[in-house]
């Protein structure tokens, strides 16, 4: 089978190389690019990201990348901040996002009192459950994946996987051709690689 | 449920692991990438690589090594040693490090924590603190240069300051417990965990599996780091995870 054309959207976000490293481990080749032509005609588009929501949304708008991403018809995978930017509105910098998912992005507020000494960010390995997407197979129910975030997508109509950290929230979202994970599949060991592989093979 | 993290730590000199590692039958003795991959496969949750090279040449070798590590493993990893300015951190980020740890550079120049977290995000910045308990008193003095130099700073106030300046995690090593293999500094760990809102990584003192349990239960740590017990195969990561799970501690 011919190699699928995979692009990773390049923008002002940190550590987008790790997704590419994981794809290389899977035997795929991806191009990291901001070129609208290449993004539009790729077979698969990955929208990664680590950073702050409002400044990143401003950057995407300035470059016209907001409408570009909204208009994509091939499978798109948002990761971490990428996922949150595909939500409706983020409390981080109080900004309207791409509105692809009907999912508001909220800030974690620790319970008071906090007898379990919970911390923010939600950092480390947590379990995914109630899997409802082709990103997952049923053997992944309860699997541990790696999260690092201080804002979360509430549960809603597009929740494709849930997780729990003193409250339940979306670990993954899906609507039509748009897929997204709050966790980092590229940092989630063998399970994460399988999720990425399933996305590429969609 | 969020799992408690187990973190093997590797000391690197001139691009190679320092100690003779008995851990597994490695093809190349001292190759950090192969060792890292083996730990990842065993179920280590994260890895820490500390560069103890002093020379400029060695630093370049370390950045190349980070690049290779990032290509071969897909669990999060932290790199530390010799980071004293933004450009050092940026080179390591670009090589693929998920986090950097800073220690004496942060003590000398606390503003570095603010600068790093503003540029790269808090999740990228681990502040490592080496401290020694004061005679008879409850407080701890922050040390640098492997515990040899005492500073003006105290553990709890410095850790809080690091959090306020934007640290994403605190890696606390008790110099009284390090290398002794009699358990972690659980009282101090618990106080850090209660007073701070960012994750605390316990370091220094692991000798057996019970010590890890105690660091999580009594010490309320979010993660525990160790080196020699893993490298010399005194404790295997899979058996440790099994033990902790039996003890009711959530692990991956």
ipTM (interface predicted TM): 0.93
Query: Does A34 touch chain B if contact means CB atoms closer than 8 Å?
Result: no
Query: Does A167 touch chain B if contact means CB atoms closer than 8 Å?
Result: no
Q: How many angstroms separate the CA of residue A146 from the nearest CA in chain B? A: 8
Residues facing A174 on adjacent strands: A179
- The answer to whether residue B11 is catalytic is yes
Chain-chain contact of B168 with A50 (C-beta, under 8 angstroms): no
Global model pTM greater than 0.90: yes
- What residue segments make up the domains of chain A, in order of their start? 6-200
Higher pLDDT, B18 or B48: B48
Mean pLDDT of each 10-residue bin along chain A, 202 residues long: 88 78 95 95 93 89 95 97 96 96 96 91 97 97 96 97 97 98 97 98 96
- The answer to whether residue B31 is catalytic is no
- B199 lies in some domain: yes
- B226 lies in some domain: yes
- B252 lies in some domain: no
- B48 lies in some domain: yes
- B251 lies in some domain: no
CA-closest candidate to residue A36, choices A73, A64, A16, A76: A64
SS3 state at A156: coil
Tally of domains within chain B = 1
pLDDT tens, position by position, B137-174: 778 999 998 788 999 999 999 999 999 999 999 999 99
- B107 lies in some domain: yes
Full residue range of the structural domain in which residue B122 is found: 5-246
Cβ contacts (< 8 Å) between B197 and chain A: which residues? 110, 119-120
Torsion angles phi and psi, residue A182, rounded to 5: -75, -35
Rounded Cα–Cα distance for residues A169 and A160 (Å): 11
Q: How many angstroms separate the CA of residue A155 from the nearest CA in chain B? A: 17
CA-closest candidate to residue A85, choices A154, A184, A185, A180: A180
Q: What CATH number is given to the structural domain containing B9?
A: 3.20.20.70
pLDDT tens, position by position, B25-41: 555 567 899 999 999 99
Residues facing A148 on adjacent strands: A123
User: Element (H or E) spanning B120, and its range?
Assistant: helix B111-120
Contact status, residue B45 vs residue B6, Cβ threshold 8 Å: yes
User: What's the pLDDT band for B14 if we cut at 50, 70, 90?
Assistant: confident
Q: Which of B1, B71, B222 sits opposite A164 (nearest CB)?
A: B1
The single residue listed with the structure tokens 């960010």 is: A121
Query: Does B37 touch chain A if contact means CB atoms closer than 8 Å?
Result: no
The single residue listed with the structure tokens 């995914």 is: A128
Q: What is the pLDDT of residue B54?
A: 67
User: Could you tell me which CATH class the domain A6-200 is placed in?
Assistant: alpha beta
């Amino acid at each position: 089978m011919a190699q699928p054309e995979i692009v990773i959207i390049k923008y002002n976000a940190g550590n987008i190389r790790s997704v590419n490293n994981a794809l290389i481990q899977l035997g795929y080749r991806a191009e990291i690019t901001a070129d609208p032509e290449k993004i539009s005609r790729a077979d698969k588009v990955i929208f990664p990201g680590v950073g702050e929501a409002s400044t990143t949304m401003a950057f995407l708008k300035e470059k016209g990348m907001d409408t570009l991403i909204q208009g994509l018809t091939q499978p798109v995978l948002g990761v971490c901040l990428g996922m949150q930017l595909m939500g409706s509105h983020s409390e981080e910098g109080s900004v309207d996002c791409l509105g692809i998912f009907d999912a508001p992005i909220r800030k974690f507020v620790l319970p008071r009192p906090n007898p379990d000494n919970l911390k923010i960010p939600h950092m480390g390995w947590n379990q995914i459950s109630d899997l409802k997407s082709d990103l997952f197979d049923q053997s992944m129910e309860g699997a541990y994946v790696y999260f690092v975030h201080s804002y979360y997508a509430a549960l809603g109509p597009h929740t494709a996987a849930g997780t729990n950290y003193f409250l339940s929230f979306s670990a993954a979202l899906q609507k039509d051709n748009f897929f997204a994970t709050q966790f980092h599949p590229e940092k989630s060991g063998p399970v994460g690689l399988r999720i990425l592989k399933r996305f590429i093979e969609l | 449920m969020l799992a408690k993290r187990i973190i093997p730590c590797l000391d690197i000199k001139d691009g190679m692991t320092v100690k003779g590692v008995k851990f597994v039958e490695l093809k190349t003795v001292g190759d950090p990438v192969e060792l890292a991959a083996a730990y990842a496969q065993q179920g280590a949750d994260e890895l820490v690589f500390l560069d103890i090279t002093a020379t400029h040449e060695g630093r370049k070798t370390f950045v190349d090594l980070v690049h290779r590590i990032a290509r071969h493993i897909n669990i999060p990893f932290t790199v530390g040693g010799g980071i004293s300015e933004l450009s050092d951190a940026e080179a390591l980020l670009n090589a693929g490090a998920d986090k950097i740890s800073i220690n004496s550079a942060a003590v000398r120049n606390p503003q570095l924590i603010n600068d790093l977290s503003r540029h790269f995000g808090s999740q990228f910045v681990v502040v490592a603190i080496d401290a020694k308990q004061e005679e008879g008193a409850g407080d701890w003095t922050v040390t640098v240069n492997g515990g040899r130099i005492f500073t003006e700073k105290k553990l709890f106030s410095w850790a809080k300051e690091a959090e306020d300046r934007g640290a994403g995690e605190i890696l606390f090593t008790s110099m009284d417990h390090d290398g002794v293999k009699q358990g972690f500094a659980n009282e101090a760990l618990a106080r850090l965990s209660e007073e701070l809102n960012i994750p605390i990584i316990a370091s220094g003192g692991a000798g057996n599996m019970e010590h890890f349990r105690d660091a999580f239960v009594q010490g309320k740590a979010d993660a525990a780091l160790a080196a020699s017990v893993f490298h010399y195969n005194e404790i295997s990561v899979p058996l440790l995870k099994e033990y902790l799970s039996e003890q009711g501690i959530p692990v991956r």
